[in-house]
Structures are given as structure tokens and as C-alpha cells.
Structure 1
Amino acid sequence: MRLTLFTIILFISLTGMSQTGRETRIDSLESALRTAAHDTTRVNILSELARSYGGIDSLKCFENGFKAIALSKKINYLKGAADSHINLAGGYLDYFDVENAKKHFKIGNDFADKLIAKDSSTQNMKIWLRGQYNLGVAYGYEGNVEKEIAYVSKTIPIAQKMGDKMFVANGNTNLAIKYNNMSRFDKAYEMFKISQEQFKEIGNPEDIIYHSLSFATSLAQMDSLDRMKSVLDIAKTNLDKIPNSFYVGLYYGELGFYYGRSGEFDKALKALDRSSEYYKDHKSNYYFKLLYQRYADIYDKMGNFKEAKAYTLKYINFSDNEHSVNDKIGSYYKLAKYEAGLNDYQQAYNYLKGYVTALDSVRASELENDMQELEIQYKTATKEKEILALKNEKSETALALEKKKSQNYMLWAIASVLALVLFIGYYGYNSQLRKARKKEQQQESEVSLLKQEQQKQLFLAMIEGQENERKRLAIDLHDGLGGRLSGISLNLSKLNKDEPKEYPGAKLKKVMKDLDDSLTELRTIARNMMPETLFKFGLKAALKDYCSSRTGSDTKVTLQFYGTEKGIDLNQQVTMYRIMQELINNAIKHAKASEILVQFIRDINKVDITVEDNGIGFENEDRTSIVKGMGLSNLKTRVAYLNGKLEFHSEMNEGTTANVQINLDAT
């Protein structure tokens, strides 16, 4: 994430501090447009003007882009249509309008596909490459890194065949940055080394500096400080070749970061001072925000909480006022630490409250969004099943009616020949047929009522399950987390009231431990509400995590997982997880079990789930009254959703065994 931020900062810095060359080119294009004699020439110039005004003047960028598109359409100029749509999309991307950028990239790429199908010249292939590459970049702006990598990877081999070394080097650097952001550091390092050699072969100092600064930031994330310094030295060597380069501020900012990580704080501050001096006339530059954060980190490590606090406040109050919730959470926590270090415990408490409130807001929002998404998925799946069932029923009815219609035609043909002989028989047959139809309609009506009643029961069970889960969450938050936070508040208030003469290290340490315990409890509640491990690592990992969390001094939960969850739909995995979660909770809460065995056995398309405990058990005649208190309706609803079977086997003081059998082909 830090490398993505650095790359965006680098892009903004370059576009904000290197306008002179572009303005000269714009003047030349405007002059050429006034003397252009042919419409195709006008399209090419308008399209290039749209590209050149990107990031400088949005009005002129879009005005020239749309003029180029309109004129291309009028004269049926395929190359102009492809180029102008792609350049207009680039303008939208310069102003972070990703939706419009993607829209025009896709239109331009369609035209480019048709263009190279007719003429795959180098000039046309460069338009195609630019459109495909930048559509990937647009997906990257949305956070879809895998799709961006797919588009960039598709363009690099083609550019390599064309001999476009600069495109290939930039493409490999971009891939390296994306792999780094995905924490695939081995792959990122490999791609950076490849592009480093390619930029070295090209020999342009500015390109080598750009690559080196990006590479150095990645190496910092890999904790490879020695290599980071050697790459920064390459950047410095090439900086010396370009007097007054706009990379100077960025270089010293990264050098300060390196010294800060290496523990050489005096050198780090001097380097950051040089970077700040470079940007002193551009204090609205986004890079200042990163510099404030680095100053704060270094002063924090030096134990100078006063300066660390000052720079953190500058960071959080930066003029762009664009901070993620995680930024605020991290800043509040650090400010609380600094205020405590400065013995201002009241202010430390206030920042801690802000930290907890922001953190709680994020968790609650994430949980609510995940619950809504699951509910929508469930309703969608149920609706699709209903539609499929209705279609099948309609087809069967149509076939039956067609068959009966054919029989009627045949009877009418026979009746026309043997009217007198078969009149009585025909009348009797027709009467029986009406009765059969009436009976069939009655049966269909009864089946429909039964289906409606069953659906109503399933819906009520689902609502009841949701309400019970919400009540449980409210109780956990009120009784558990609420009590802990109240205790933290009282302890901090007492610290402030007592006005200790000496640093209350032990008491503050206890408060911080209570806060950590509160956060642990919040994560436990969140895990119970929504198994995040399941979505990231699969059913086996989620079950292992949950069984481990329920194992304590009084209860041991053992998981035996045979087979794999691969190929099982995510909704089905979530439902299986909830079934086993409910059975484990019942064994602990109702059966008072000290040992619980959980088995998951997958054999091709059959799944057997067994939860066995050594609890108090129950007699068969008491089963109905007991399982009502064990959430049987919720269990039945989830098992029914998987078209499975649920059975209980139990004896008093002999424990209980619950078996669930699921046929994946039937779900």
C-alpha cells in the first residue's frame, strides 16, 4: 500500500513540476491545428491535444477529445476513433474519474482491435498497446490489482517483439510495483531487477531515477536496507547528471526514510530537511503529507514525543483533508501514546476514546456490509431456485396439455366417423376427463399452499436466527466489551484525578492491557458474526480457527478434517460453517460437554458432518423439548438449504452425537 501511495505521489509531483516541455508541445499543436488542411490531420491533432492537456486543463482536455471523437465518426476514420477515445480516457484517468476512463478505454480498444485487424503497422500497434495497458491501470485504480497485472502482462511481450524498450521497461516496473503491493516480494524483486537492466540499457538518467526510487521503496518493505541503499546510490549518481532535477526532493525523502529505518536519526532528519527545503514553495504538494509522517516516526523512535506529536498533527490536519479511517485510527493511537509520554493523561484518554470509537465504527460497518451481502446472496440463490422450479413445472404442464390435446383430436376424429355408435362412450369419457382435470387442479392448489407455508416457515426461521444473532452480539458488546471500556475509562480518570508526581507506568500498562483485551474480545465477536478466515483461507482454516478459539481450560474441541473444501460453493461453505458452529455451541452451552469431537468428511460429492460430545445427553422422549432450546429451527433451515439430513443420537449422561449428511449434487 505504501508503494502505491508513493507511486501516485511521484506521478502528481511530475505532472505538477514539469509543465514547460508540455506547454511548448501544446503551443506547437495549437498552431498546427489552425493550419491543418485535412480532416484526418485535424482529428490526429485534436486527439494529441486532449492527451497533452491531461492533468493540466480538464476543460480543454475533454473539449478537444470530444471534438476528435465527433469528427472521426463523421468521416469514418477508424484510427482517429481509436486514438481519440483512448486519449480522452487517459484524461479522465488523470482526474481519477475511473468509471468514465474505463468506458472510453473499452470503446477505444474495440476500435483498435478492428484497426490492427486491417493494418497491424507499428503506429497502429502502439495505439492498441496504450489502450490495453491503461485499461489495466484503470482497474488498478479501483484496487483490482490482478486484472491490472493481466492487462499489463498481455502488452509487454507484444511491445518486446516490436522493439519498444521503454514501454517494456515501464511495464515491468509497473508489474513489480503491483506484485509488491500483493506482498509477492520474490516476484516483485525479480521484475525490478529485470526493468533495472532494461532502463540501464536505455540509458536515460531520469528514467533510471524513477525506477530506482520505486525499487528502493519496495526494498524497504522487504526489510532489505543494504540493497535499498545501493539502489538509492544509483539514483544519486544519475541525479548528479541532471542539475535542478524535480526528483531531488523525492530522493532525499526516501534517503531520510532509509536512515530512519537504519537508526541513524540525525542523518535521517538532515535528509528530510533537504527534501522539505526543496518543496518549501509547494507546501500543498501531497509529498509533504508523507514527510510529516516520516518526521513523526523518527522523533517517536528518538523518544522526542513533543516533536512526534507536532508532526502527527500536521499529518492528520494536512490541507487535502483526505484521510482514510485507518489513517485516523493509527494517528489517534500514536497521539495517545505521545500525550501519555508527555504526562498529559487527560488528552491521552481523549485520543484513546477517538481511537476506540473509530475502530468500533470500522468493525461495525464491515460486519453490517458483510451481513447484507450474505443476505442478498441467500435471497438471490433462493429466488433462482424458485424460478427454475416454476420453469420446470410450466414445461411439464405444457407437455401434459399438449398430450391431452392430441388425445382430444384423435377422439374427435373417431367420433366424427362413429358418432352414433360412440356417443354415449364419448360423453362418459369427457365427464371423467373433467373430473380428472378438477382433481389435478385441486392437487396443484394444495401443493402450492404447502410450498408457500414451507417458504414462510423458512423465512421466519431465518429472521429468528438473525434476530438471535443480533441479540447475542448486543449482549456481548454490552456485558463484555462495554464493561471493559468502562473500566478503562475509570482507570484513566483516576490517573488524571490523582495527578501522580511520578510516571504511573504500572497503572498505564494495566490500562493498555485492558484496551488490548477489549480489542481481542471485539475481534472474537466479529469472528463469531462473520468468519473472515473462511473468506480468505477456506472452510478448513476457519473451522480450525473456531475450534481453537472455543478450546479452554474447561472444554477441549478437536477437529478432524478429511478431504478438501475445493469445488464447494462459498455460500455452501458458510452454511456448513454455521451448522458446525451451532452444534459446537450447543454442546458447550446445553450439554455441558468437556470434550467435543468435530469431524468433516468429504468423499467426492458427499459430505458427512459429525459433532460428538461427552455431555449430559437426553432421553429420546425429551428430544423435542430439549432441541427447541438448541436452535433446532435454525439448524433445520441451514441443513434444508443444503438439501441435507440432520439426525441426533443421545442417551442420558452418555453424550450426544449429531450427524449431518449432504449431497453436493443435490444442492
Structure 2
Amino acid sequence: MRSTVFVFILLLSFFGRSQTGRETRIDSLENALKMAEHDTTRVLVLSELARSYGGVDSLKCFENGFKAIGLSKKINYLRGMADAHINLAGGYLDYFDVENAKKYFEVGNRLADKLVAKDSSAANMKIWLRGYYNLGVAYGYEGNVAKEIEMAAKTIPIAQKMGDKMFVANGNTNLAVKYNSLAMLDESYEMFKISQKQFQEIGSPEDMLYHSISFSSCLASMDSLDQMKSVLDIAKINLDKIPNSFYRGPYYAELGLYYGKVEEYDKALEALDTSYAFYQGKKSYHYLKLLYQRYATIYAKMGDFEKAIAYTLKYINFSDSEHSPSDKVNSYFILAKYEAALDNYKDAYHYLRDYVIAVDSIRARQLGNDMQQLEIQYKTAKKEKEILALKNEKSEAALALQVKRSQTYLLGAIASLLALLLFVGFYAYNDKLRRARKKEREQEKEVALLKQKQENEVFSAMIEGQEKERKRLAIDLHDGLGGRLSGISLNLSKLNKDEPKEYPKAQLQKVTKDLNDALTELRSIARNMMPETLVKFGLQAALKDYCSSMTGNGTKVTLQFYGTEKGIDLNQQVTMYRVIQELINNAVKHAKATEVLVQYMRDGNRVDITVEDNGIGLNKNDFEEKEGGMGISNLRTRVAYLKGDLEFHSEENEGTTVNVQITVDAA
């Protein structure tokens, strides 16, 4: 088992909870519970106790978690119910009960969705972030890497926008660990470097310990031993600041790994002994299993294969149910190598047989029959040898004994050759399977990364589009409506200052005209923000109104509307309106079109939108340059939201045609 599993288990136990002063925090919470005067306070304290006892005391973790859920339901306290379910789920995750963890995370996340819909304060958003992020961790523990990365991509940008630096630092470290476990070492290294800077800025000693131990595992996989030692030195400085730290065992386990890689075996064993002493008597089975593997590796490098075999057997026979088939297969293969190094070919042969059985049970049954036949022949030859030895006085018997000895040697050589051929054949078979699995994992990683990249691009485009819309609205209000209102104000001030003796009809008519113009412009701005006609009368009326408003000053906009908008969700109608609005604006303002034709055609679930103009058009090079602009990017984002396709056809001086094909939810 690779060393990254060790860090992944460590991360599961500690992500999303306070990294400093665990015992002090628990004492403070117990005192706060005794002094609490209100049920809402008791719920939050009980929930936080469940979170703090996770990985420390399972009985108290679940006892406080269920009390918090029961009391929050009794008083109908939504925030308490969400927080308690999520913290209880974290407790199940600390003890590797992934099924129950996912169940309580999903309930807690549904409650958190309702909570932030009513009140999206920072405190409520942190509950929401913790729930969805750790649900991704649970999926990752099951091996669903794509789902875990999806949850991380969903939560980390929001936490960063909120300014929750600790959440972002922990999230980046978790992604680094995940990349390391997938052998994506370059990506893992870069993520660790980012989170290292974040922890140096805001982290406590335990935060730096947590990060350094995780980072050292990645550096070990990269064989970057000098940097691994410098990271472990940082961990030691912070470990000395925290008496009885949980990280004492993990630190010395990683230090032992480092000394083993640089061939300082005495120091490696001393570090592993310190880690082993820390875990003796504790239910930290996963760490002890890892230590047995590392002991075996060190002793094998030292040439002490007997101890290497003993520790490998301790690993195989460890009293838990977390061994995977690949663990046992690899362990039997390693035992065969160790026995062969001790010239114990018979034991090596038996371990190799166990290895073969684990790899391919069907072929192993046939091989078992062949081995039994060889064993019978071996025993028969041995018995005949003993009988002939009793007749050694006669020359003919001595000659026969010599012949039988030769036959025995020949059978032994044949058996050894068969064993060697089996070993080479199954090693090649196992290597082929390993390469196939590696290729499959790489393909899954590429798909997951492409999906994450696409989600990030859509998110960025939406944010930039919103900022552009706000900027445009500000300019319209300031330069357009603001200027008109300023002019009206100056005219009224001047009229008041001049104090006319006669009724100022001409001046008032001018002011009235300016006010009417301002109101017209205000309605135009409001229509651009949210067309009132669309909300009241539907998409067809809104488009007709907008096309009429854009007709004039040498431009004619014609609408052809076939079908209906009935049954289409209002949000989808608004997005369609925005797409058509943007295309008309581009045709009038940028393409300088004098005629624009807008067609809306609906057939069942399919909607086809075409906007055609007679403007200046674009050649291929100009179009590629504008393809990266915000206008087309926003169009593509909106069409993607509608689950549609967007196509441009444009020739210089021959106009532009844009086709949009959308599949709507309603029939």
C-alpha cells in the first residue's frame, strides 16, 4: 500500500474541524453546555461537541450528535438541524462508516440549502460549505474521485470569495492529497505549495503539522528527499510546541520513511519505534498496518529478511477487514521474494502459489493439480531412495541408487524450471493488468480534470458577465438618465432664479419634454434589466415590444414568431430574451445593420432561434479574434445554461446569421 493512503486517512479524520487546542476546546464546550440558558445555544454546543469528539471518543461523538438532532427537531431550529446532521456525518466519516456518513451529509445538506435560501450569512454559509465539501470526501473514500473533485470545485471558489482562508487552505491540501493518491505528482506538488503559503499566513502549529506531514508523503513519492527533510523539519518545530499532539505518531512514521529512503536504517528503525510506541494500546489500526509495512521494507533493505517476513505476516494477519485483494496479492509476492533471498525456495514456492491463486483462481486450480502431482513424484522418488539405500552393499543396488538419485535431481530441476516459468509468466500477466489499470486511471483523471476546467470556465464567465451588466447599467444611469435629470434641475433653478413676471410657458414646456425623455430612458433601462412585458404577457409580447423599440433611425427589426412559449420555465424565457436581445444589439451597434430578421420557431421540446442581419459581417480572422470577447462568451454561457447549441455564419460585407437550437424541459 502506498504511503499516500496514510496521509489520506489522516486528512479524513481532521479536515473541516479546528486544528488547534482540541482538548482545551472540548473543555470549554463542556463548560458552555452547563451554563447554556437557551435551547438554541444547547443545540449548537452539542453539535460542536460531536464535531470535536470525532476521531477521539466515538461514544461521546455520537451521543452529543444525536442529542443535538433531537433537541433541534423539538424546537424546530433549522440551523441547528443542519449543523447537527453535518457534524454527526463527520463523526461517522472519522470512523470510516462511509454509508452512514453519506446518509447524514445528504440530509444535512438539504437542510443547509433551505437555511442559506432564507439567510445566506457567513455563519450559515460555512455550515453549507462544510457539508458539501465533506460529502465529496466521503465519495473520494469510496473511490469516486470525479465526484470528490466536483464537490471541491463547487465549494472552494465560494469559500475563497467569502474570505474563509482556512477552508480554502484545507481544501487545497485535500486536493493535493487526492492528486498524490492518483500519482498526479506534479499537480499534487503545485497544490501543496499553494496551501503551504496559505497555512504559513493563517495556520496554527497543528495546521502546519497537518500540512507538512501530508506534503512529505508527496515528496517521498517524487523522491525529492532533500525537500522532504526540510518539510519534516518544519513539522518537528511545530510538533515541539504541542504536548501530546495527535500528530506525533504520523510525524515519526514519515521520518522513518525518509531515513529508509536515504539508507540511514538505524535512524529509520528508531523513528518507527517511536511511532509504534505512540499507537500501542490505541485503536489506530490503519497506522499500525502502515508501520508493519515500513518495518518490513527497512529490514529487507538491511538484508534481515527474517524480520522482514515477520512484519509482512503481521500486516497480512492484522485484525481488521480493510485489506484489499491487491494488498494480499502484493504481500504474498513480497514474501516469496524474501524467502527466496533466504534460499528457502520451498517456502518461496508456497507463497508464490498463494500469489498465483489470488491473481487468477481458475488457473490456480489447474496449477494446484500440477503441483500435487509433482509433490507425489518427489515423495515417491524420496521413498525409493531410502529403499535403495538399505541395499547399498550390493553393487547393482548401488548402481540403481545412483540412477534414482539422477532421476531425483532431474525431477527437481524440472520442478524448479516449471516454478521459474510460472513465476515469469504470472509476473508478466500481473504487469499487463497493472498497465491496463494505470491507463484506465489516467483516462478517468483526464475526464475529471476536463469537467472541472469546464465548470470553472462557466463560473468565471457568469461572474464576468454579471460585472459587465452592472457596469453597463451604471453607465446608462450616470451618462444618460443622470445627465438629463441634471439638465432639468439646472433649468428649474434658473427659472426660479430669474423670477419671470409672466407665465414661463416655453421654459416649462422644455422642462416637461426633458422629463418625458428621462422617463422614456428610465423605462428603457428597466426593460433591459427585467422586461415587465415578459413577466406579464410572455416571451412573444416582450420580443415584439423590444423589436418595435429597436426599429427606427434607419433600422428595421422584424419578428417572426411561430409556436408558443407556454410551458417553458420563466427563467428559460428570460434567458432566451437576453440571448435575442444581445444578438439584436450586436447587429445594430456593431454590424451597423439596417435590417434585422428575428425568427422564433418551436416544435414540441425543440426551439430554433435565428437572427439574420445585412450588416458589415466579419471575415474568418476577425471572427476568431471576437470569439474570445465577453459578448460572444456571455452568449455561449447563456446558451449552455439552456442546454443548447450556438452557431455563427458570417462573411465580410454580406451580413451575419446566428442559429440557436434549444431543448426545453416542457413539451
TM bucket (normalised to shorter chain) is 0.5 to 0.7
Report the residue type matching 2:148 in the other structure.
Answer: E
What CA distance in whole angstroms lies between the structure 2 residues aligned with 1:183 and 1:201?
A: 28
Matches within 5 A, 1:447-458: none
Q: 1:40 is matched with which residue?
A: 40
What CA distance in whole angstroms lies between the structure 2 residues aligned with 1:208 and 1:533?
A: 33
Q: 1:262 to 1:536 in 2, by over 3 A?
A: closer
What CA distance in whole angstroms lies between the structure 2 residues aligned with 1:77 and 1:97?
A: 27
TM-score by length of 1: 0.54
Matches within 5 A, 1:52-71: 52-71=52-71
Match of 1:517 among 408, 416, 425: 425
The CA deviation at 1:215 is: 0.8
What CA distance in whole angstroms lies between the structure 2 residues aligned with 1:533 and 1:175?
A: 20
Structure 2 SS opposite 1:2: coil
The CA deviation at 1:298 is: 1.9
The CA deviation at 1:169 is: 0.9
What CA distance in whole angstroms lies between the structure 2 residues aligned with 1:297 and 1:496?
A: 38
| 1:346/1:492 contact within 8 Å kept | no
1:281-310 CA distance string (max 9 Å, x none): 659654232222112112222322222122
What CA distance in whole angstroms lies between the structure 2 residues aligned with 1:278 and 1:522?
A: 37
What CA distance in whole angstroms lies between the structure 1 residues aligned with 2:413 and 2:298?
A: 23
What CA distance in whole angstroms lies between the structure 1 residues aligned with 2:200 and 2:96?
A: 32
Q: 1:484 to 1:262 in 2, by over 3 A?
A: farther
The CA deviation at 1:35 is: 4.7
Q: 1:312 to 1:126 in 2, by over 3 A?
A: same
What CA distance in whole angstroms lies between the structure 2 residues aligned with 1:494 and 1:214?
A: 58
Q: 2:91 is matched with which residue?
A: 91
Q: 1:344 to 1:494 in 2, by over 3 A?
A: farther
Q: 1:281 to 1:35 in 2, by over 3 A?
A: closer
What CA distance in whole angstroms lies between the structure 2 residues aligned with 1:181 and 1:537?
A: 12
What stretches of structure 2 of length at least 5 have no aligned partner?
A: 384-404, 444-667
Report the residue type matching 1:80 in the other structure.
Answer: G
The CA deviation at 1:277 is: 4.5
What CA distance in whole angstroms lies between the structure 1 residues aligned with 2:256 and 2:414?
A: 35
Q: 2:132 is matched with which residue?
A: 132
TM-score by length of 2: 0.54
The CA deviation at 1:93 is: 1.8
Q: 2:214 is matched with which residue?
A: 214
Report the residue type matching 2:62 in the other structure.
Answer: F
What CA distance in whole angstroms lies between the structure 2 residues aligned with 1:346 and 1:140?
A: 42
Q: 1:36 to 1:534 in 2, by over 3 A?
A: closer
Report the residue type matching 1:513 in the other structure.
Answer: L
The CA deviation at 1:517 is: 1.8
The CA deviation at 1:171 is: 0.7
Say how many residue pairs are matched: 416
1:481-521 CA distance string (max 9 Å, x none): 678767986899899998999xx999857633332225556
Q: 2:346 is matched with which residue?
A: 346
1:363-421 CA distance string (max 9 Å, x none): x6xxxxxxxxxxxxxxxxxxxxxxxxxxxxxxxxxxxxxxxxxxxxxxxxxxxxxxxxx
What CA distance in whole angstroms lies between the structure 1 residues aligned with 2:100 and 2:78?
A: 21
User: What is the aligned-residue identity percentage?
Assistant: 64
1:14-47 CA distance string (max 9 Å, x none): 89xx999555544544454455433322322332
Q: 1:79 is matched with which residue?
A: 79
The CA deviation at 1:170 is: 0.8
What CA distance in whole angstroms lies between the structure 1 residues aligned with 2:157 and 2:12?
A: 29
Taking only aligned residues, the RMSD between alpha carbons, in angstroms, comes to 4.1
Q: 1:202 to 1:313 in 2, by over 3 A?
A: same
Matches within 5 A, 1:258-273: 258-273=258-273
What CA distance in whole angstroms lies between the structure 2 residues aligned with 1:495 and 1:256?
A: 50
What CA distance in whole angstroms lies between the structure 1 residues aligned with 2:441 and 2:285?
A: 37
What CA distance in whole angstroms lies between the structure 1 residues aligned with 2:116 and 2:188?
A: 32
Q: 1:302 to 1:71 in 2, by over 3 A?
A: closer
Q: 2:230 is matched with which residue?
A: 230
274-283 or 350-359: bigger deviation: 274-283
The CA deviation at 1:145 is: 1.5
What CA distance in whole angstroms lies between the structure 2 residues aligned with 1:172 and 1:288?
A: 27
| 1:217/1:254 contact within 8 Å kept | yes
| 2:12/2:93 contact within 8 Å kept | no
Q: 1:600 is matched with which residue?
A: none
| 1:206/1:238 contact within 8 Å kept | yes
Report the residue type matching 2:330 in the other structure.
Answer: G
The CA deviation at 1:206 is: 2.0
1:96-139 CA distance string (max 9 Å, x none): 22222212212211221222222221111111111111111111
The CA deviation at 1:349 is: 2.5
What CA distance in whole angstroms lies between the structure 1 residues aligned with 2:299 and 2:127?
A: 49
Structure 1 SS opposite 2:360: helix
What CA distance in whole angstroms lies between the structure 2 residues aligned with 1:241 and 1:60?
A: 28
| 1:346/1:493 contact within 8 Å kept | no
Q: 1:186 is matched with which residue?
A: 186
| 1:62/1:88 contact within 8 Å kept | yes
Q: 2:143 is matched with which residue?
A: 143
Q: 1:168 to 1:488 in 2, by over 3 A?
A: farther
| 2:86/2:104 contact within 8 Å kept | yes
1:214-246 CA distance string (max 9 Å, x none): 111112222333332232232233334445544
Report the residue type matching 1:47 in the other structure.
Answer: S
| 1:485/1:518 contact within 8 Å kept | no
Report the residue type matching 2:192 in the other structure.
Answer: F
What CA distance in whole angstroms lies between the structure 2 residues aligned with 1:64 and 1:195?
A: 32
Q: 1:343 to 1:165 in 2, by over 3 A?
A: same
The CA deviation at 1:278 is: 4.3
Structure 2 SS opposite 1:120: coil
1:311-330 CA distance string (max 9 Å, x none): 22222233446422222222
The CA deviation at 1:267 is: 3.5
Higher CA-based Rg: 2
What CA distance in whole angstroms lies between the structure 1 residues aligned with 2:437 and 2:5?
A: 26
What stretches of structure 1 of length at least 5 have no aligned partner?
A: 365-475, 539-667
Report the residue type matching 1:205 in the other structure.
Answer: P
